[in-house]
């Protein structure tokens, strides 16, 4: 079991030293352990896993294997779950308790499939369910395990404030608030006044999210809202060194990503490796180079392209913090309690839900179709499902 990091103390310590906590968002498909390790080498203080469906995680060994992996140095780490059932949420949290520092409840995903199944933003309109889910964690897991909620602002700011204040009373350690409503798109401006009002209305730390492309954006959002943390999603995909002040992805970051793949190639899929590089190099490569690079399909061809076209000195000496992968030993008494069939549709082993997560089932061709227009996508709020499922 990993030693727990007190998340509340993390906010206090970081605030004293640099003003606010730098946070990498939970992004569908992309917040895997390799990327979490990468960004922590560039001033990220706190990372999240991708959103994981709690019921699938409990029911299906493949979902656990595909959706959660960690290393000895992968901390502080928050595991984000989507759930509308207290038993699933508690059981899934118990499974990851030995390997993480806390769990987060997703109340911010606005996608149709999530809303239809009662996940994400659907929970904003059922606050009594959210409170029960939070209390389930508080009543069943040790106090050294953080519980937080990620949400979007509502059209009625008063209701948003009331919800946040009630969540604070329920005992959560911190909030993440996305500065757009469930109906707004990623191209819409965030409501900084609403974020400021929320920050002023509660005493627990608030992480503000939305529209962060540079360190200057993060500083401005902190100064306007007085938030305790700033979360980046799309911006940190394009530039994993965002919080270090780099304007574009430095070559040291690209080299580090390549070295991490070489060290643990059996732990990373080609899609994950290549897709991240497509993002990282978006502001680096020319249009013609992108047309070639985005269609490469092997590790070897990607590495050869980079070494041929980019100025990466062969004597680059990078020291990074990545330890051995942890073998997760999940409690049988928890997983055995769950049926092998989906509670919603009855299909075997919850295949209907788990296929949404298994990016190995997709050959990655979707990516080249949308890579030139990804500013309209919100990976934290799982809009990518609309393009791929």
Distances (CA, A) of 200 to 12, 19, 104, 205: 17, 16, 22, 10
Catalytic choice (109, 164, 342, 354): 109
CB atoms within 10 A of CB 258: 19
Q: Where are the beta strands (DSSP E) in the chain?
A: 21-24, 46-48, 52-53, 77-82, 102-107, 146-152, 174-178, 206-209, 229-232
Contact 227, 199 (CB under 8 A): yes
Distance in angstroms (rounded) separating the CA atoms of residues 51 and 82: 6
Contact 174, 202 (CB under 8 A): no
CB atoms within 10 A of CB 201: 15
Helix axes 270-280, 251-263, angle to 10 degrees: 180
Distance in angstroms (rounded) separating the CA atoms of residues 203 and 175: 10
> Helix (H) and strand (E) counts for the chain?
19, 9
Distance in angstroms (rounded) separating the CA atoms of residues 68 and 79: 9
Contact 237, 279 (CB under 8 A): yes
Would you call 199 a catalytic residue per the annotation?
no
**Cβ burial 110-121 (10 Å sphere, 16+ → b, else e):** bbeebbebebbb
Distance in angstroms (rounded) separating the CA atoms of residues 117 and 33: 28
Q: Find the distance separating the first CA and the last CA of the chain, reported in whole Å.
A: 36
Question: Could you tell me where the DSSP H helices lie in 5-151?
Answer: 7-18, 33-40, 54-59, 61-67, 86-96, 112-116, 127-140
Burial (0-12, 13-18, 19+ Cβ within 10 Å), 65: exposed
Active site residues: 109
């Amino acid at each position: 079991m990993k030693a727990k990091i007190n998340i509340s103390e993390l906010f206090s310590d970081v605030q004293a030293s640099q003003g606010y906590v730098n946070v990498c968002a939970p992004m569908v498909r992309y917040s895997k352990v390799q990327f979490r390790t990468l960004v922590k080498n560039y001033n990220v203080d706190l990372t999240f896993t991708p959103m994981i469906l709690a019921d699938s995680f409990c029911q299906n060994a493949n979902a656990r294997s595909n959706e959660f992996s960690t290393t000895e140095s992968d901390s502080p780490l928050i595991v984000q779950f989507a759930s509308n059932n207290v038993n699933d949420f508690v059981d899934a949290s118990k499974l990851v308790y030995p390997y993480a520092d806390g769990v987060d409840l997703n109340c911010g995903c606005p996608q149709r499939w999530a809303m239809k199944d009662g996940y994400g933003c659907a929970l904003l309109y059922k606050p009594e369910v959210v409170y029960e889910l939070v209390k389930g964690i508080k009543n069943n897991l040790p106090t050294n395990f953080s519980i937080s909620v990620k949400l979007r602002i509502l059209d009625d700011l008063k209701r948003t404030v009331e919800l946040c204040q009630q969540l604070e009373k329920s005992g959560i350690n911190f909030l993440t608030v996305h500065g757009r409503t469930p109906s707004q798109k990623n191209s819409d401006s965030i409501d900084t006044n609403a974020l400021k009002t929320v920050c002023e209305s509660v005493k627990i730390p608030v992480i503000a999210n939305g529209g962060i492309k540079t360190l200057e954006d993060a500083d401005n959002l902190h100064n306007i809202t007085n938030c305790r943390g700033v979360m980046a999603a799309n911006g940190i995909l394009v530039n994993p060194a965002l919080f270090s002040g780099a304007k574009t992805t430095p070559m040291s970051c690209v080299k580090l990503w390549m070295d991490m793949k070489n060290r643990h190639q059996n732990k990373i899929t080609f899609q994950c490796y290549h897709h991240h590089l497509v993002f990282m190099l978006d502001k680096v490569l020319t249009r013609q180079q992108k047309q070639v690079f985005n269609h490469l399909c092997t590790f070897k061809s990607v590495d050869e392209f980079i070494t041929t076209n980019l100025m990466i000195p062969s004597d680059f000496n990078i020291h990074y913090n990545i330890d051995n992968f942890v073998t997760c030993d999940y409690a049988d008494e928890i997983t055995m309690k769950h049926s092998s069939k989906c509670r919603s549709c009855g299909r075997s082993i919850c295949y209907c839900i788990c296929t949404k997560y298994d990016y190995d089932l997709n050959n990655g061709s979707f990516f080249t179709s949308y890579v030139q227009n990804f500013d309209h996508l919100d990976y934290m709020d799982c809009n990518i499902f609309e393009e791929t499922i």
